Amino acid sequence: MDTQIENKYEKIAWGTSLPVPSVQELVRNDVKEVPLRYIQNNENRPVAIFKPTDPDSAEIPVINFSLLAHGDEDERKKLHLACKEWGFFQILNHGITKEVIQKVKTAVSGFFELPLIEKKKYAMEEDDLHGYGQAFVHSEEQTLEWSDIMFLIIYPLKSRKNMVWPELPGFKEAVEEYSENLERVRDEILGNISLLLGLKRESLKEMHGEMKHAVRMNYYPPCPNPELVLGIGPHSDATSITLLLQDDDVTGLQITHKQKWLPVNPIPNAILVNVGDCLEIWSNGMYKSIEHRAVTNKDEVRISIATTLFPADTKELKPVETMINAQCPSMYKKVKFLDLIKHGMSKTMDGKIFIEFAKEEHNQGP
């Protein structure tokens, strides 16, 4: 195959991120103390490391996807309340087999277990976001997160950067098979949310334009002092929705709910879904993206696989007409997705930086 043709792709024009050391490699070298650059300020540190048995996590809504897909009105109401009151929910009976899920988890784990010299073959370039490394790093003084990531665009095919797809037996096949299965789940969730917003079933999907479907693979190594670091800092997602596969046995994700951090205990083979910033804008704030973070622990690796869905760069975001009236005027300015994401990428990922930009100047007088 012609290498030049193989390497052509639609480059992401969202911003840049500096290369950083591999946290996994620090742990492999038996680091005894957390390097200064990874230590969070006192106000940002985890105040507690929750146990997997924390009972509050059981409150996070669980949606029966099979019922939802068959038009069950009660299940759709549960979806509405989950999006409105939580911004997060887990789905079961989604129809993706345990074998498909296990294959993609094994493939991702296999990549991160490669020697560093092999993983570096797929490293992010400083002016690009495809590949292995870390995002949102803008200065040498910035506090770093206790994690390594691999970021791949799956669809559209023209946006794939093929040279950063690991040449690991079964990797590409497993990621593609899982992604193809997830399309059906994605479309059903977007379709039901469209109906809840008073739109036609296909409206939200169409509003994406040429939808981008990407996978962010997160590797959180054990940490000698987990109370000092964050695997990923508090943020909301600049997506329409995000669909996450968690590690079945290790709790690390936390979400904000009623002004406290709540752990999300994994349910085996469940998919965790969260509202993104684009959906918050489209719904005029009825459904809000929720800040979340990842904590670490002393003894166990945690891996998660986040599938992110977002609009074409040229798409303009604004609240849909069905969500605007005299009692509820538009809360967000019209903003192009590319401008939203570039604004966020120029900042340290912290809080709802994308939504803050979408609200900027909107309510200011002339």
Which whole number is the average pLDDT over 290-295? Answer: 95
DSSP state of 95: S
Question: pLDDT digits over 8-28, tens only?
Answer: 777 776 767 778 899 999 999
Residues 6+ apart with CB under 8 A from 88: 60, 61, 82, 255, 264, 272, 273, 274, 275, 290, 292
Question: CA angle, 243 as apex, 240 and 246 as ends, to 5°?
Answer: 150
Q: What is the mean pLDDT of the chain?
A: 90
The arithmetic mean of pLDDT across residues 19-43, rounded, is 92
Sign of CA dihedral 72, 74, 80, 86: negative
pLDDT score recorded for residue 274 = 98
The 10 Å Cβ neighbour count of residue 169 is 10
* DSSP sequence for 296-333: --SS--EEEEEEEEE--TTPEE---GGG--SSS---S-
Nearest of 214, 201, 209 to residue 154 by alpha carbon: 214
Is the confidence at residue 125, as pLDDT, over 90? no
Residues 321-347 pLDDT 10s: 999 998 899 999 999 998 888 877 766
Residue-wise pLDDT for 302-317, tens only, equals 999 999 999 999 999 9
pLDDT at 53 over 70: no
pLDDT beyond 50 at 4: no
Nearest Cα to Cα of residue 312 among 21, 12, 86, 90? 12
Number of Cβ within 10 Å of residue 38's Cβ equals: 19
- Name which of 135, 128, 163 is nearest 149 in CA terms: 135
Residue 190 CA: distances (Å) to CA of 150, 208, 258, 338: 26, 11, 26, 21
Contact 34, 240 (CB under 8 A): no
The per-residue pLDDT for 365 is 44
Does 363 have pLDDT greater than 60? no
Contact 263, 50 (CB under 8 A): yes
Provide the phi-psi class of 124: left if phi over 0, else alpha when psi is between -120 and 50, else beta.
beta
CA dihedral sign of residues 153, 154, 158, 163 = positive
Closest of 50, 26, 20 to residue 296, by C-alpha: 50
- Beta strand segments in the chain, E: 62-64, 88-92, 131-133, 148-155, 212-220, 232-235, 241-245, 253-257, 260-263, 271-275, 292-294, 302-310, 316-317, 335-336
pLDDT at 7 over 70: no
Residue 63's φ and ψ, nearest 5 degrees, are -105, 135
Whether the pLDDT of residue 55 is over 70: the answer is no
What does residue 283 show for φ and ψ, rounded to 5 degrees?
Answer: -85, 5
Q: Which residue has tokens 């966020």? A: 344
Q: Which two tokens stand for residue 102?
A: 């296990």
pLDDT in tens, 69-99: 999 999 999 999 999 999 999 999 999 999 9
Q: Dihedral sign, CA of 132, 138, 141, 146?
A: negative
Model confidence pLDDT, tens digit, residues 148-206: 999 999 999 999 999 999 999 999 999 999 999 999 999 999 999 999 999 999 999 99
Summarised one tens digit per residue, pLDDT across range 91-123 is 999 999 999 999 999 999 999 999 999 999 999
Q: Is the pLDDT of residue 145 over 60?
A: yes
Please report the pLDDT score of residue 57 as a whole number: 60
Separation CA 56–CA 200 (nearest Å): 36
Percent of the chain with pLDDT strictly greater than 70: 90
pLDDT at residue number 2: 37
What span, in angstroms and rounded, lies between the C-alpha atoms of 225 and 298? 7
At residue 130, the 3 state secondary structure works out as coil
pLDDT of 263 over the 80 cut: yes
Q: For residue 31, name the pLDDT band (cuts at 50, 70, 90).
A: confident
The pLDDT tens digits of the residues spanning 202-252 come to 999 999 999 999 999 999 999 999 999 999 999 999 999 999 999 999 999
Helix 171-196, helix 98-112: angle, nearest 10: 120
